[in-house]
Amino acid sequence: MPFNAVASDEASLVISEANNKLKMAFEAVLDAEKAGANVSDLIIQLNSAGVLLAEAENAYRVGVFSEAVSKAEECSMLADGVMGEALQLRDSAIVNAQTVFWHNLMFSIFEGAAFLFVIFFVWGWFRRVYVKRIVNMKPEVVSDDEA
Amino acid sequence: MMKLEDYKVVFASLGLIGVLLFASPTLGLFLHLPGGEKFSEFWLLGPGHMAEAYPFEVRAGENYMVYVGVGNHMGSSAYYLVYVKFRNQTEPLPNATAETPSPLLPLFTYKIFLEDGGTWEQPLNFSFHDVSFKDDRCLVGNLTVNGITLNVGKPALWDSENKGYFYQLFLELWIYDEASRDFHFHNRFVSIWLNMTTPI
């Protein structure tokens, strides 16, 4: 009985640790996703870790503590790997987002300025044509005679 | 004929529209339109992958199967838990109005990670063992869920109105909340009624 009690406590601790690591790994994946990274591969890995943790918890419920510990440890390792990859993905996504931002900003400024210049040029040409047309118009004389 | 001032307004408008169009790639990085409704799907299908032929008349020693599924439409990836629980007629179900889960302990857990728009489906196999009948009482000793056998020791009294010993296998959906760093009941559950019968 004492052996089982120790094993149960140990298993509970390892499962709890794996649970926390999985939560942290998921949060890291969410951060990477918010930064614009493609997290499909990481979600697949998280699911594998989730299956392991669920198996660990199910083994714990039926009292197979050694299996619970080994599955939970496997889950922790997988979660650690996912977290590392997620942080890398997030960092590269942030760099990519900054590049895209500056590219878009330059595009907006230069293309917008070029467009305004063209519009201004066309407006100048149009005004000259308009004024010339008005000046060249023949005046019409309207009679004041009463009917 | 339009006056020169009117044409000026037309050109100014064209200039403004053009500038906005060229600025749209940059503005798009900051302006986000409101998305659709955020929700999760949760379903239970019969053995033929249809909403029919669910197990109902059950007996000890036989295997039964249903499919459980989850769909994520929460706008981002989500971390779900599905708890498999088992009750008799006197034990509480989740309360949809109060949005509280059933206090019964889960017999089996699924842990699911889904991207936005993703779905997940798995078979749920279950069987009953050590089922005894005495007078107007039925006792389910062990319940096996996906190969995991648990001692449940669940009694049910004879329901004279509906004529059977009724149990309910139900599944709750929980979701991980990033803000509180914990799971909370997602106020969704699915269930099937089971009538425990004597072996043939």
> Measured between alpha carbons, how far is A78 from A25 in angstroms, rounded to an integer?
9
Q: Please indicate, yes or no, whether residues B124 and B188 belong to a single structural domain of this protein.
A: yes
- Does any CB of chain B come closer than 8 Å to the CB of residue A106? no
Q: Please indicate, yes or no, whether residues B29 and B47 belong to a single structural domain of this protein.
A: no
Q: Please indicate, yes or no, whether residues B23 and B50 belong to a single structural domain of this protein.
A: no
Q: Poorest-confidence range of A56-65, B22-31, B94-103, B127-136?
A: B22-31
Say what the pLDDT of residue A145 is. 63
CATH code for position B56: 2.60.40.10
Q: Please indicate, yes or no, whether residues B113 and B179 belong to a single structural domain of this protein.
A: yes
Q: Please indicate, yes or no, whether residues B138 and B109 belong to a single structural domain of this protein.
A: yes
CA distance B52 to chain A (A): 28
Pick the residue of A100, A123, A135 with the most B CBs within 10 A to test the interface with B by mutation: A123
The helix (run of H) or strand (run of E) holding residue B108 is: strand B108-114
Residue A63 near residue B150, CB atoms below 8 Å: no
Q: Please indicate, yes or no, whether residues B74 and B45 belong to a single structural domain of this protein.
A: yes
Q: Please indicate, yes or no, whether residues B96 and B156 belong to a single structural domain of this protein.
A: yes
Is A23 within 8 Å of B8 when comparing Cβ atoms? no
Q: Please indicate, yes or no, whether residues B2 and B81 belong to a single structural domain of this protein.
A: no
Residues B132-143: pLDDT tens digits?
999 899 999 999
Say what the pLDDT of residue B68 is. 97
> Measured between alpha carbons, how far is B40 from B73 in angstroms, rounded to an integer?
6
Buried b / exposed e over B45-69, threshold 16 CB at 10 Å, is: beeeeeeeebbeebebeeebebbbb
Pick the residue of B20, B26, B76, B176 with the most A CBs within 10 A to test the interface with A by mutation: B26
Can you tell me the ipTM of this complex?
A: 0.83
Cβ-proximal residues to A45 (8 Å cutoff; 6+ apart), any chain: A78, A81, A82, A85
Q: Please indicate, yes or no, whether residues B136 and B169 belong to a single structural domain of this protein.
A: yes
Say what the pLDDT of residue A2 is. 43
Residue B145 near residue B107, CB atoms below 8 Å: yes
pTM score above 0.90 = no
Please name the residues between 18 and 47 in chain A that touch chain B, using a CB distance below 8 Å.
Answer: 22-23, 26-27, 29-30, 33-34, 39-40, 43, 46-47
Structural domains counted in chain B: 2
What is the rounded (10 degree) CA torsion for B175, B179, B180, B182? 30
Pick the residue of B77, B107, B114, B145 with the most A CBs within 10 A to test the interface with A by mutation: B77
Is B176 within 8 Å of A26 when comparing Cβ atoms? yes
Cβ-proximal residues to B107 (8 Å cutoff; 6+ apart), any chain: A61, B84, B85, B86, B143, B145, B148, B150, B152
Residues B101-112: pLDDT tens digits?
999 999 999 999
Low-confidence stretches of chain A (pLDDT < 70) are 1-6, 144-147
Q: Please indicate, yes or no, whether residues B141 and B85 belong to a single structural domain of this protein.
A: yes
Mean pLDDT across chain B, nearest whole number? 93
State the Cα angle at A65 between A59 and A70, rounded to 5°: 85
Q: Please indicate, yes or no, whether residues B25 and B44 belong to a single structural domain of this protein.
A: no
> Measured between alpha carbons, how far is B115 from A33 in angstroms, rounded to an integer?
10
Q: In the 8-state DSSP scheme, what is residue B90?
A: T
Say what the pLDDT of residue A133 is. 86
The B39-45 sheet, strands edge to edge: B39-45, B63-73, B119-134, B137-145, B148-157
B51 lies in which domain range? 39-196
Q: How confident is the model at residue B91 (pLDDT cuts 50, 70, 90)?
A: very high
Structure tokens at A58: 């199910």
Tell me the average pLDDT across B91-95.
Answer: 95
Q: Please indicate, yes or no, whether residues B58 and B90 belong to a single structural domain of this protein.
A: yes
